[in-house]
Amino acid sequence: MENGLDSQSTAHPEGAARQVAQLERMVQISRLLSSTLDLDQLLQLIIHTAADMVGSEAASILLEDRRTGGLSFVAATNCSAEDLRCIEVPVDYSIAGTVYKTGEPVIVDNASVDPRHYGEVDSHIKFQTHSVLGVPLQVRSRNIGVLEAVNKCEGACFSPDDVEILLTLASQAAVAIQNAKLVSELREANARLAQVDKIKSDFLSIASHELRTPLNIVMGYAAMLREDAAGSLSEEVEGVLRGATRLQGIIKSMTNLTYLESGVPQLRLERYLLQALVEEACKEWRPLAAGKHLTLRESLPEMPIYVNVDVAKVNTVLNNVLDNAVAFTPPDGCIEVAIRPHTGMVAVSVADTGIGIPEVELERIFEPFYQVEDHLTRQHEGIGLGLSVAKSIVELHGGRIWAESVEGHGSRFSFLLPVRWGDHADG
């Protein structure tokens, strides 16, 4: 056997060299095909390689159109794809359709006398087809289209060697085309999802912001009405407060989800009076606290303290920590918000007389979706994002947040912010 191969190589050295060159070219093309995910670039690579390797005047690719059941041009060397995309090639009455239906190569030496030749293509692009070699593009034994070489150079006929070359190229090209189409479809789907996700996030952000103010008004008036209500009216007011409280929890969840899904945000820093920031947050939460018979008070230093923070995001921190305190403090309890110096920074703390947190849970309460109560038996609403979001915002400002608690005797949540003591508004 070895002697036979040696003698054949010696007898046909030019043929053997040509085969080696073709194999090397095919290996190079295979690498390019497997590394190219841009569909248009890939299609151009395939048709120009096909025309070059079989020595044809032109080459083209037609892919199945599942909407119409026909074949559509997606690339051609002798004209732009846009010129051909308007032409639908029928499967039943065309050379390409025959290749597509049978899954077998087809050679046509004289297209002018072959009834399968679809002359509308030539008429449309002012071209004359003489000879055609078509091979199927197959993925997992399923035909997805056709690769054609048109007009063998110098009037010659396509040979069995040309068929083998084009089949080898087509087998690799089909997989590459399918992968590129999947990547393209995935990118389009991701773009649509991103657009939908932005619409959803914008809605959540706007809705939670716009609902908060009227809700606080409802809760404030309901709390006042309860003081004067008696009998059945008192029960009805309590029902209003319970519904408003539930709505407040929904708004909180919307705000937290918006922040969580926004990724790592950019801070919009501005110089702001910290006392004012705390007072605004307490004013917003006082009606809800009153609705639960809770006392909410502030302990603030007289000296103005200015911080360079993203006001909206620090307000979210205060809201989330206050929400936690109100939720876990039983009626007739007390919540105190304080500001105090802390090793070159300023600490804002929210202390409550609530149910407290087990010591083993203190390190985990800032984890996303973590809740101290068992999800099957818990009595308090929420999805466990508030403290996690608060931690992210505080750390984004260069501070830190922590909790101190004695189970059954309340908790204190504190967070640090950079500050310049004695910095006045006119300084």
Per-residue confidence (pLDDT) for residue 422, from 0 to 100: 47
Sheet of strand 142-152, all strands in order from the earlier edge strand to the far edge: 88-89, 71-76, 56-64, 142-152, 132-139, 106-108
Tell me if residue 342 falls in helix, strand or coil: strand
d(CA 367, CA 384): 8
DSSP H helices, 262-310, are: 274-291
Mean pLDDT, consecutive 10-residue stretches, the chain (427 aa), reads 43 62 72 78 89 93 87 87 80 93 95 92 89 94 93 92 92 87 86 79 73 78 76 76 73 67 73 94 88 92 92 90 91 95 90 89 77 44 71 90 90 89 43
Other CB atoms closer than 10 Å to residue 416's CB: what's the count? Answer: 19
Q: How far apart are CA 45 and CA 83, in angstroms?
A: 19
Q: What is the pLDDT of residue 144?
A: 92
Predicted local distance difference test score (pLDDT) of residue 379: 47
Residue 226, number of CB atoms within 10 A of its CB? 19
**Can you tell me the distance from the alpha carbon of 38 to that of 42, in angstroms, rounded to the nearest whole number?**
6
pLDDT at position 58 = 94
What are the extents of the domains in the chain? 2-190, 264-427
Residue 280 backbone dihedrals phi, psi, to 5 degrees:
-65, -40
Distance of alpha carbon 66 from alpha carbon 388, whole angstroms: 48
Q: Enumerate the β-bridge partners of residue 23.
A: none
CATH number of this structure's domain 2-190, picked from the four choices 3.30.450.40, 3.40.309.10, 3.20.20.140, 3.90.1150.10: 3.30.450.40
Provide the CATH number for the domain formed by 264-427 in this structure: 3.30.565.10
C-alpha–C-alpha distance, residues 409 and 359, integer Å: 12
Among 227, 172, 191, which Cα is nearest to 45's? 172
Judged by phi (left if over 0) then psi (alpha if -120 to 50, else beta), residue 382 lies in left
